[in-house]
Amino acid sequence: QVTLKESGPGILQPSHTLSLTCSFSGFSLSTYGMGVSWIRQPSGKGLEWLASIWWNGNTYNNPSLKSRLTVSKDTSNNQAFLKVTSVDTADTATYYCAHTRSSTTRPSYYFDYWGQGVMVTVSS
């Protein structure tokens, strides 16, 4: 059974760095084909993919956030991390981590298990 849970600071000030942790069970990020992604959702708005990390250490970031994102993992402790630098009020959102898997028939990827989300507020 795959489960994921996000944790983070709750509130932080503009220009600071947001650090989020995704603790998961039911799979290993050292196993071929496994991935974890970060997705956020401002209150009352839609979903935005942020970044992903794969079993082999490959990472992918949403280019709209340029170099503000860093995703990493701790395989031995079943955790993935996201750092967002220079936050501002536009980064206020619920942040989700999700198990990411590939289609078995074509190169295509999706999110089959999601965490409960952690709300992050950027405010001075």
Partner 1 sequence: EIVLTQSPTTIAASPGEKVTITCRASSSVSYMYWYQQKSGASPKLWIYDTSKLASGVPNRFSGSGSGTSYSLTINTMETEDAATYYCQQWSSTPKWTFGGGTKLELK
Instruction: Please check whether residue 73 is in contact with residue 81, taking contact to mean a CB–CB distance below 8 angstroms.
Output: yes
96 binds partner 1 (CB under 8 A): yes
Cβ of residue 7: shortest distance to partner 1, in angstroms? 15
Q: How far apart are CA 39 and CA 56, in angstroms?
A: 20
Instruction: Please check whether residue 65 is in contact with residue 95, taking contact to mean a CB–CB distance below 8 angstroms.
Output: no
77 binds partner 1 (CB under 8 A): no
- Find the binder of partner 1 among 52, 91, 93, 120 (CB under 8 A): 52
Provide the binding-site residues for partner 1, judged by CB under 8 A.
37, 46-49, 52, 60, 62-64, 96, 103, 105-117
